[in-house]
Structure 1
Amino acid sequence: MARRLRSVGLDFTESAPVRLVFTAEVAAPPEEVFRALAEDVEGWPAWFGAVTRCRPTDGGKGREVALRGGTRFQETILTAEAPVRYAYRIDKTNAPALRAMAEDWRLTPSATGPGTRVRWTFAVDGPAPLRFALLLARPGLGRAFRNAVRALDRRLALV
């Protein structure tokens, strides 16, 4: 992992040059969803199809993530506010062109009944060709998010 990215804070998820925001609903309450995101870090590959490995680092202050295709990230947890928010930034990666990246998961009680509304913000800075490619990739990223949340919903129903 040769490339260090610019260190960003939580505000980056609101101000990044590329912000892709997706939402989905799950039947589980926010507390269970938060546990799956923030506490069962090693369980991510079981429900997020793009993730092949995820493990906590630095006593839980960071994560090491591997994706299908060989992309790897070293991350710092920016916040873990149970049961409403889990966010992290990418510090190092082997992915080209990225300058800065953070992801923010927000959990709110569902407005339509029991369950949780999950909102994922994917925030990135990079050169214009990367920003354009990410906008083109939006449908695929949205599909991956929805598939992951459905798989997480199934997984939490078994607990």
Structure 2
Amino acid sequence: MAVRQLRAVDAGFAESAPLRLVFGGEMSAPPGAVYRALAEETEAWPRWFTPATAARQTPGGHEIRLRMGGKFTETIRVAEPDVRYAYRVDTSNMPGPLAGLEDWRLTPAGTGTRVSWTFAADGSKPFLLFLRAFRPGMARAFTVSLRRLDRRLGASPAG
């Protein structure tokens, strides 16, 4: 599949995108540990984020490969330690997306963290219909990924 440049969006796209899928959950790990896993330990994402098969940091962002063959480059738009981590999708080899942003928000919850993940997108009608239909699968992947990350952070000395 050909790699295509997507429309550049800012962090506000998380609130204004034509399609917003929002998922939430609680973790026992504190916000600092969760933030480090998101913002500083990109290469470890495939160990806990179930859709990813490979991830690496790039200057100002990441390159990601997904199980279904998707490849993306991303640029970090917001990096607020222990609070928020958001990145824009710049390129994709998947058919249909026009713009994308993922926004992770972390809120203290007792000794743990409340995590909210917004997947914001614009794209062709078939692409947006696919995402809406795939929402339950994304919700499951998010829930499983949070559990895996929580176990990973609980087992690490930094967790």
TM-score by length of 1: 0.95
**Structure 1 residue 80 corresponds to structure 2 residue 79:** yes
Deviation, structure 1 residue 129: 2.0
Please give the alpha-carbon distance, in whole angstroms, between the structure 2 residues aligned to 1:69 and 1:2.
Answer: 15
Deviation, structure 1 residue 135: 1.1
Please give the alpha-carbon distance, in whole angstroms, between the structure 2 residues aligned to 1:15 and 1:69.
Answer: 27
Runs (5+) with no aligned partner, structure 2: none
**Structure 1 residue 122 corresponds to structure 2 residue 119:** yes
Q: Which residue of 2 aligns with 1:12?
A: 13
Please give the alpha-carbon distance, in whole angstroms, between the structure 1 residues aligned to 2:126 and 2:66.
Answer: 22
Alignment: residue pair count: 155
What is the identity, as a one-letter code, of the residue corresponding to 2:111?
P
> Identity percentage over the alignment?
54
Please give the alpha-carbon distance, in whole angstroms, between the structure 1 residues aligned to 2:67 and 2:134.
Answer: 16
Deviation, structure 1 residue 44: 0.3
Runs (5+) with no aligned partner, structure 1: none
Q: Which residue of 2 aligns with 1:67?
A: 66
Q: 2:134 aligns with which of 128, 132, 137?
A: 137
Please give the alpha-carbon distance, in whole angstroms, between the structure 1 residues aligned to 2:52 and 2:83.
Answer: 22
Deviation, structure 1 residue 49: 1.3
1:10-159 superposed matches below 5 A: 10-58=11-59, 61-110=60-109, 113-159=110-156
Deviation, structure 1 residue 128: 1.9
Please give the alpha-carbon distance, in whole angstroms, between the structure 1 residues aligned to 2:127 and 2:69.
Answer: 18
